Amino acid sequence: MTEKITRKEKISYGLGDMASHIGLDNVIIFLTFYYTDVVGLPAAFVGTMFLLARTADAIIDPAMGYIADRTRTRWGNSAHGCCGLLCRSVPVVCSPTLCLNLLIYMAK
């Protein structure tokens, strides 16, 4: 793939990324307030927690992209079927509640 990306395409990708960050950044602002003022965690701990999460994300995302690019199944490239999607959705749905309960327990 040697074709160049046009300026219009770059702007379109940037606007899409900006739109996703509007929601994400609002959640991070709320979580910072919640962890420091409601749960009572020190601001330095909350900042370090977010830093470690972003660092882990910077390492894990390219690794998962590498794995997904090289996955070949009978259903197609990087397709894991409906069962795989349902199994992965359970931790995504449960993790916010578990994280908040763990932080409340740790703050006591």
- In-domain check, residue 72: no
Give me the pLDDT at residue 34, please. Answer: 92
Number of domains in the chain: 1
Q: Please give the Cα distance from 76 to 19 (Å, whole number).
A: 30
Give me the pLDDT at residue 77, please. Answer: 64
Which portions of the chain are predicted below pLDDT 70? 1, 74-86
Note whether 79 and 73 are within 8 A (CB).
Answer: yes
* Summary mean pLDDT of the chain: 82
- In-domain check, residue 68: no
Q: Please give the Cα distance from 104 to 58 (Å, whole number).
A: 28
- In-domain check, residue 52: no
Give me the pLDDT at residue 79, please. Answer: 56
- In-domain check, residue 107: yes
Give me the pLDDT at residue 78, please. Answer: 58
Q: Which range of residues forms the domain containing residue 98?
A: 81-108
- In-domain check, residue 35: no
- In-domain check, residue 74: no
pTM here is: 0.57
- In-domain check, residue 69: no
